[in-house]
Amino acid sequence: MLTETFMGILKALRCPKCGWESPARTTFRCSFCSAVLEAIVEIDYLSKSHLLEIRKRTDQTIWRWFEFFPIEDRSAVVSLGEGYTPLIKAARLSEKLRIARLHLKNDTVLPTGSLKDRSNSVGLSKAKELGFETAAVVSTGNAAASVAAYSAAAGLNSVVMVPKGTSLSKMLQACAYGATVVVVDGDFDHDVAGLYKNAVREFGWYDCLSTNPYRDEGKKSYAYELLDQLGDDVPDWIIHPTAGGTGVYAMWKGYNELFSLGWIDRLPRLVAAQSEAAAPIVAALEKGLTDIEPVAARATVAESIQVGNPISVGWRALEAIRSSKGTAVALTDDEILEAQSLLARLAGIFAEPAGAVSVAAAKKLREKGLIARDGLVVCNITGHGLKQPSAIKVSDEELRPIAPDLNALRRRLADK
Ligand SMILES: Cc1ncc(COP(=O)(O)O)c(C=O)c1O
């Protein structure tokens, strides 16, 4: 029986390549092969009756499944109500894409407007538990806002680095939460990430990147929530907009935990949806590689997933895709913008372009016949449209004020 003070049991931080276990809770990389370590949470003791107990909990956040996360001190949990986002059966979009059982996992409504809150609730809880004072991240924008918000709630300082050209709304959001926002003139994968790495070492900050094994556990929550929301059914396909690969990797881990406990009897096929301008996982899959070859990411409307070198867990996402008999798809900017528009106009969800890439991939895979008409498909919609308002093209004419009379209104309506 669980008690009120019970939390996750962190068995080890273990290297997924050579099995080395870190004696310290603050070491994130293997001392031998420098792979990012994995948080191993003890769950073997959980029985089917625990699932019933979890179901009785009133908590509507990821923490309803607290046994599955590596936080041992319950008072350290930093929560802003993340998780249990709506799973929407969007009839009109379903019809348009000819996928009868299409579901949209609407993560645009997470506290800071993106999927990053799943990771940072876990990551910042651990920072608090370990006694850090400053959290840091380097980001194309969404992680910056999320780390800033969770640091504020935890009482930590935050420093976030973003590349020059990052959407102003994302930077302002991080500023609003009180973060020190550092805009760096350079490309993301090489210059910005390089400076960040040196700074973390120099200043001893708590690293909230995907090199952090604790925060990487957060997106396992997709698996747990979907189990609840689909009445114990498992999707045939889950499609995830992919950059660093943590979503695909962590969903696979979460589903495998449920499978190993006997709480589900099959596993979903996972799809990494990438922008054609930054598709190293697609390339690695096509070439049959076991590791990712970095690519030079080009500019794309899907700016939040413009990552050419998913260095930490990219290879694990690749492994997850292969093990799940899934696939990876690259989408052009036109396809991504079309999906963003379909999502808004047929389902009422305003996603940033990166957040809509999953819908573009669903459309493509259905057209290719890989996804069947009656397939149970979940598209993760991972970032809010207001994060990048510039992606919506509206002419000056459309927004030009009219005189307050009916004739002017009639002319305006006729123009549409
Ligand atoms: C909106 C959005 N979607 C998806 C991702 C992909 O993240 P990951 O591949 O690490 O799950 C990111 C961030 O990188 C993002 O900001």
**Pairing state between β 134-138 and 157-163:** parallel
Look at residue 1 in the predicted model and tell me its pLDDT: 42
pLDDT tens digits, 310-352: 989 999 999 999 999 999 999 999 999 999 999 999 999 999 9
Pick 381 or 398 by higher pLDDT.
Answer: 381
If one residue of 36, 112, 115 were mutated to test the ligand 1 pocket, choosing by the most ligand atoms within 8 A of its CB, it would be: 115
Q: Which of 387, 349, 393, 344 is nearest to 140 (CA)?
A: 387
Tell how far the Cα of 303 is from the centroid of ligand 1, in angstroms: 10
Pick 317 or 415 by higher pLDDT.
Answer: 317
248 CA: nearest ligand 1 atom: 11
Minimal-distance CA residue to ligand 1 atom 15 = 304
Minimal-distance CA residue to ligand 1 atom 16 = 304
Q: List, as one string, the DSSP characters of 143-180.
A: HHHHHHHHHHHHT-EEEEEEETT--HHHHHHHHHTT-E
User: Residue 188 falls within a domain, yes or no?
Assistant: no
pLDDT tens digits, 200-239: 999 999 999 989 999 999 999 999 999 999 999 999 999 9
Q: What average pLDDT is seen over the chain?
A: 95
CATH of the domain at 321: 3.40.50.1100
User: Residue 42 falls within a domain, yes or no?
Assistant: no
Tell how far the Cα of 402 is from the centroid of ligand 1, in angstroms: 40
Q: What does pTM read for this prediction?
A: 0.96
Name residue 106's beta-bridge partners.
381
Look at residue 167 in the predicted model and tell me its pLDDT: 80
User: Residue 295 falls within a domain, yes or no?
Assistant: yes
Question: How many structural domains comprise the chain?
Answer: 1
Tell how far the Cα of 394 is from the centroid of ligand 1, in angstroms: 26
pLDDT tens digits, 120-146: 999 999 999 999 999 999 987 799 999
Look at residue 90 in the predicted model and tell me its pLDDT: 95
Tell how far the Cα of 305 is from the centroid of ligand 1, in angstroms: 6
Minimal-distance CA residue to ligand 1 atom 1 = 383
- Cα(263)–Cα(236) distance, rounded to whole angstroms? 17
**Cα–Cα distances in angstroms (integers) from residue 279 to residues 85, 216, 330, in the given order:** 27, 21, 6
Q: Residues with Cβ < 8 Å from 171, sequence gap 6 or more?
A: 141, 144, 162, 181, 183
- Window from 25-34, 37-46, 135-144, 197-206 with minimum mean pLDDT: 135-144
- Domain extent, residue 107, equals 87-113+216-391
CB 209 within 8 A of CB 138: yes
pLDDT tens digits, 264-319: 999 999 999 999 999 999 999 999 999 999 999 999 999 999 999 998 999 999 99
User: Residue 306 falls within a domain, yes or no?
Assistant: yes
Q: Is the pLDDT of residue 57 over 90?
A: yes
272 CA: nearest ligand 1 atom: 9
User: Residue 109 falls within a domain, yes or no?
Assistant: yes
Protein residues with CB under 6 Å of any ligand 1 atom: 114-115, 142, 241-247, 304-305, 352, 354-355, 382-383
Categorize the per-residue pLDDT at 6 as very low, low, confident or very high, splitting at 50, 70 and 90: low
pLDDT tens digits, 238-263: 999 999 999 999 999 999 999 999 99
Tell how far the Cα of 388 is from the centroid of ligand 1, in angstroms: 14
| 204 backbone φψ class: left, alpha, beta (φ>0; ψ -120 to 50) | left
Q: Is the pLDDT of residue 392 over 80?
A: yes
Minimal-distance CA residue to ligand 1 atom 11 = 247
Tell how far the Cα of 269 is from the centroid of ligand 1, in angstroms: 19
Tell how far the Cα of 355 is from the centroid of ligand 1, in angstroms: 8
User: Residue 136 falls within a domain, yes or no?
Assistant: no
245 CA: nearest ligand 1 atom: 9
If one residue of 139, 142, 170 were mutated to test the ligand 1 pocket, choosing by the most ligand atoms within 8 A of its CB, it would be: 142
For the chain, the farthest-separated pair of C-alpha atoms sits apart, in whole angstroms, at 76
387 CA: nearest ligand 1 atom: 1
User: Residue 107 falls within a domain, yes or no?
Assistant: yes
pLDDT tens digits, 75-106: 999 999 999 999 999 999 999 999 999 999 99
User: Residue 126 falls within a domain, yes or no?
Assistant: no
pLDDT tens digits, 154-201: 999 999 999 888 888 889 999 999 999 999 998 777 888 899 999 999
Written as one letter, the residue type at 54 is: I
Q: Is the pLDDT of residue 4 over 60?
A: no
Q: Residues with Cβ < 8 Å from 395, sequence gap 6 or more?
A: none
